[in-house]
Structure 1
Amino acid sequence: GEEAVDAAGVLHAPFSDGYDEGVDPRVHDMRSFAARARAVGCETLAGVVARLAERGRPVTCVVYTFFVGWVPEVARASGIPSALFWIQPAAVFAVYYHYFHGHEAVLASCANDPDRDAVVQLPGLPPLKSRALPSVVALTSPEQRGYEVVGTLRDLFLALDDDEHRPKVLVNTLDALEPDALRAVPGFELVAVGPVVPDGSSPSTTDLSLWVSRKVAEVDGAELNGTEAGRGADGGQGIMVEWCDQVRVLSHPAVGCFVTHCGWNSALESIACGVPVVAVPQKFDQPTVAWLVEECAGVGVRAQADGEGVAERGELQRCVETVMGGGETAVEIRPCAAKWMERAREALAGGGTLERNLRAFLSGF
């Protein structure tokens, strides 16, 4: 791709990882994917850094995500400081750090314990039940699906350990939500720069039908925009969409709760909008996000999965009714949701923790 400058004046300079047309497991040898992406990426990103320096616009800091954990190598070779942008909770970062620093066996043992209330105690963190741990720590064999993520994370933390300075990690979280986790990793500087959420301005005055950019189906037996849908078995109605502006939907006063798989972005958006959550986590960081939502923030309930890891219809109904009803749990959740919405607004406001922490970070370059 070509370089481009957007409306905000930000230069977008693409670099190649050797798979410019995308990755297809049917065509590419996935055993060599990581090594090739690393080798090609290091070379082409170094070229971008060199070109910018030649133009008199030298790079002063490289910020990267864990998907490209090799980037610090390029930065070090050019004498440039780097910082990791961690897009998951600080608690997950801390769990992974301890996993790769002496606690691998105890974490794997707890995560694979048939007793879902089994507990592990890690330095700087509260006791964590097995169902609150990221799924990656349960993987113990290369034959297991998803095990390649363990290698990616191991390389990332090895690279961080090689940093001769105190590694800086920008975390998409609120300082008020994860104060202990942000300080649970010795020798690291974890900086809360969240919640990083899109602007959902003026949602209450916008009609819902402007939110959907593609196909929409109303579940009442009708056909809308070329997509067919039918009435549910119980006669209930709903709307099915392929895509929508999630923050604007969550900001609408008609939305009473959010049933979510607990991706961290979705959880933060829900918290920032003051919407209670029904958590249905599956894998990766999602179980830990569900723990943060339910037990730390107190803004939702977690659906219990069956033996196959599926939250069935009746369980989802129970959770929605628990959150939306007039019972004790709902009465406790609503003020918590309002409190955390206010905390998020304070963090996002001018002079809030997000701005202050970013300014402090940038002042070091």
Structure 2
Amino acid sequence: MAIAESVGLHVLVIPYPAQGHMLSLLDLAHLLSSRARLAVTVAVTTKNRPLLDPLLSRSPDVVPLVLPFPNYPALPPGLENSKDLRPAFFRHLIHALAGLREPLLRWARSTPHPPTAIISDMFLGWTTDLAAELGVPRLVFSPSGALAVAITNVLWRRMPQRSNLDDHDCPISFPEIPGSPVFPWRHLSMLYRTYKQGDPISEFIKEGLLSNNTSWGFVFNTFSDLEMVYLDRLRKDLGNPRVWAVGPLAQPDGPAERGGVSSAVASEIMEWLDGCPEDSVVLVCFGSQKVLAPPQAEALAAGLERSGARFVWCARGATAVPVGFEGRVAGRGLVVREWAPQVAILGHPAVAAFLTHCGWNSVLEAVAAGVAVLTWPMGADQFANAKLVVEEAGVGVALCDGGDAVPDPDEVARVVAESLGQSGKELSNRAKELSRKALAAVKKGGNSFKELDEMVAELSKLRVK
């Protein structure tokens, strides 16, 4: 009998309702239910309930707790899944979700099997007080890496400012972090850059992020071979050894519909890749939210065309692919406008490189698949992630920088072509070596495998008391 079964552990999982945050936390919920044998309840709002379907299909013991989205007039209808990341809406969404506190309290006090622990997203700092009121530990789940969280902690504790308020490239240094990284102001979190002292929502966000550091523990979707120095720094910084790295959580053998609905298009992509030589294709994808402006799409298309390379371009949303482009690259290029199974594509032997915005899920999926990362960070933690894969892990190449930047088509062509050619072999070899370490971490006996067991064991000690 597993430890969790013997002491009756029941974890309430509370995601932040954005796909990039939810997917990895739902992967963790699956592990807690299937491997650790914990009882798991996942709290979601009504419109996000369908995102649980892949989890519930493979983890029948996970129970959904569906709550109506809090009444919050400042948010337009339908914005509860955070598809619009304009600063005002993003900030309001974080604030609005605190309205779930009372419904969650009522549920926890009325259910016959109340939660014995809470695992919640880092943007839900108010759940620290919720856990305290219920008398249970709260673990922060970070959908970002340890480097990005270390930067976040310094920002909100020290509150560094620009020496020149008109200079968006003003350097901000972080001597508290190993390697003393320096980032231009524009690379810092939008939440931080839009902070206004005394503004109620700004202060709420600041308080929530700082309260994470008083939580019982931290769980990261990362692995020690990638971020050991930052994980150790966080343990020292927090004065708390309960910092666990349990990733990469997304695995090639995971659910085919993770993050989207299976379609004929997905099958066509895999069939097309089956006809390509090994290590001959670059995947181009910028996540579920970024829509390229017309000049960006035109420059990217021109670069892909000039590269002569095979590629799959996931041009989702309103991204406008130039007229005639698909005809000119027919046979070696595939443009996809619907959801595509990113993990499965990256795991295909034909794919050797990934041009990405460097969202943390995408970075880890690339690392696990052993493909080179061509970086175009656009916001949030993506600049820190790009630095990690290019400068530290050595598995990436910088291509472009900034959400409004327009890449040089000739540079796109050069970087893409080299990543698939002979000059990219060293990069590819390093990527494949890091992949071996990533996959070993989550296998029995690996560091991430053991850290998940340690986390459950520590929770079990509290329950036994």
Shorter-chain TM-score above 0.5: yes
**More deviation, 3-12/258-267:** 3-12
Contact 1:303 1:319 in 2 (8 A): yes
Aligned residues: 338
- Deviation by residue 1:79-128 (Cα, 9 ceiling, x = unmatched): 011100001010011011111222x226x559986668x57242242121
Q: Which runs of 5+ in 2 are unaligned?
A: 1-45, 81-87, 257-261, 273-300, 306-320, 460-465
The two structures have a TM-score, normalised by structure 2, of 0.62
Matched, 1:86 2:142: yes
> Does the C-alpha gap of structure 1 residues 233 and 51 become closer, same or farther in structure 2, counting only changes over 3 Å?
closer
Matched, 1:47 2:140: no
Matched, 1:253 2:342: no
Q: Of residues 415, 419, 422 in structure 2, which corresponds to 1:326?
A: 422
Q: Of residues 114, 126, 130 in structure 1, which corresponds to 2:179?
A: 126
Matched, 1:343 2:452: no
Contact 1:124 1:184 in 2 (8 A): yes
Q: Give the whole-Å Cα distance in 2 for the aligned partners of 1:287 and 1:358.
A: 28
Q: Of residues 225, 228, 233 in structure 2, which corresponds to 1:176?
A: 225
Per the TM alignment, residue 323 of structure 1 is displaced from its structure 2 partner at its CA by 1.6
Per the TM alignment, residue 236 of structure 1 is displaced from its structure 2 partner at its CA by 2.1
Letter paired with 1:346: A
Helix, strand or coil for the counterpart of 1:101?
helix
Q: Give the whole-Å Cα distance in 2 for the aligned partners of 1:95 and 1:153.
A: 16
Letter paired with 1:322: E
Q: Which runs of 5+ in 1 are unaligned?
A: 221-227
Contact 1:136 1:150 in 2 (8 A): no
Which structure has more relative contact order (CA 8 Å, sep 6+)? It is 2
- Deviation by residue 1:221-276 (Cα, 9 ceiling, x = unmatched): xxxxxxx9954289223222211111111111111211111111011001000011
Q: Give the whole-Å Cα distance in 2 for the aligned partners of 1:60 and 1:19.
A: 28
Name the counterpart of 1:243.
339
The two structures have a TM-score, normalised by structure 1, of 0.78
Considering fraction of residues, name the structure with more helix.
Answer: 2
Name the counterpart of 1:352.
446
Name the counterpart of 2:311.
none
Trace 1:153-164 onto structure 2 (pairs within 5 A).
153-163=205-215
Letter paired with 1:99: L
> Does the C-alpha gap of structure 1 residues 275 and 156 become closer, same or farther in structure 2, counting only changes over 3 Å?
same
Matched, 1:74 2:130: yes
> Does the C-alpha gap of structure 1 residues 150 and 356 become closer, same or farther in structure 2, counting only changes over 3 Å?
farther
Name the counterpart of 2:247.
194
Q: Give the whole-Å Cα distance in 2 for the aligned partners of 1:110 and 1:299.
A: 34
Contact 2:370 2:434 in 1 (8 A): yes
Helix, strand or coil for the counterpart of 1:282?
coil
Q: What percent identity do the matched residue pairs reach? A: 25
Contact 1:15 1:48 in 2 (8 A): no
Matched, 1:303 2:399: yes
Matched, 1:363 2:412: no
**More deviation, 228-237/351-360:** 228-237
Letter paired with 2:329: G
